């Protein structure tokens, strides 16, 4: 199953105005060799287009993996605001 289809199964309440994940310095990503955030994220949130790291924070499952794997501590990571973000009906 593709990751988009998987995320499509879930309910989210996205806080469009307040992204809860931010790249601190894009130049650091440019020089980050393995870019572990891309492979380790279970929701495919991070995508590198050669110049720029796109962060599709709306699909985030709030696990915390990207925070732990980023070797340069280059992600400003927090949980979405109360009542926003992933909303599991089974869990």
Partner 1 sequence: MIEFDVVVIGAGPAGLAAAYKLAKNNIKVAVIEKGEYPGSKNVMGGVLYVDPLRKLISEDIADELIKAKAVERNVIEQNMWFISDDGLVKGGHRNEKWKEKPNAFTVLRAKFDSWFANKAKEAGALILPKTKVEDFIWENNVICGVKTSRPEGDIKCKAVIIAEGVNPLLTMKAGLRKEDLSPKMAAIAVKEIIPMPKEVINNIFGVKESDGATLEIIGSWSQGMMGIAFLYANKNSISLGAGVLIEDLMKNNKITPYEILDNLKNHPIIADLLGDYRKTANEYMAHLIPEGGYYSIPKLYGNNVLVAGDAGMLVNSIHREGSNHAITSGMFAAETLIEAFEKNDFSESFLKRYVTKLENSFVMKDLKKYRNLTSIMEKNHQFFEVYPSLINDSAYRFLTVDGTPKYDIQKEIFDMLRTRRGLLGIAGDALKFWKGVR
* Residue numbers at the binding site for ligand SF4 (CB under 6 A): 21, 23, 28-29, 32, 35-37, 41-43, 45, 53, 60-66, 70, 72, 74-75
Q: Round to whole Å and give the CA distance between 50 and 70.
A: 18
CB of 59 to ligand SF4, least distance (A): 7
Taking the least distance from each CB to ligand SF4, the nearer of 14 and 28 is: 28
**Does 28 help bind partner 1 (rule: CB under 8 A)?**
no
Dihedral sign of CA atoms 1, 9, 77, 68 in order: negative
Six token digits for residue 27: 């130049």
Q: Round to whole Å and give the CA distance between 28 and 43.
A: 22
CB of 26 to ligand SF4, least distance (A): 8
- The structure tokens 């994220």 sit at 41
Q: Which of 22, 11, 7 is nearest to 84 (CA)?
A: 11
CB of 27 to partner 1, least distance (A): 22
Q: Which residues bind partner 1 (CB under 8 A)?
A: 1, 3, 6-7, 9-10, 13, 34, 36, 39-44, 61-65, 67-69, 78-83, 85-91
């Amino acid at each position: 199953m593709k990751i988009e289809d998987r995320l499509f199964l879930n309910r989210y309440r996205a806080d469009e105005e307040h992204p809860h994940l931010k790249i601190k310095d894009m130049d650091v990503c440019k020089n980050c060799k393995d870019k572990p955030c891309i492979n380790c994220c279970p929701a495919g949130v991070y995508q590198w287009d050669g110049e720029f790291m796109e962060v599709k924070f709306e699909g985030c499952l709030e696990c915390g993996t990207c925070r732990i794997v980023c070797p340069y501590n280059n992600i400003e990571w927090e949980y979405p605001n109360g009542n926003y973000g992933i909303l599991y009906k089974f869990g």
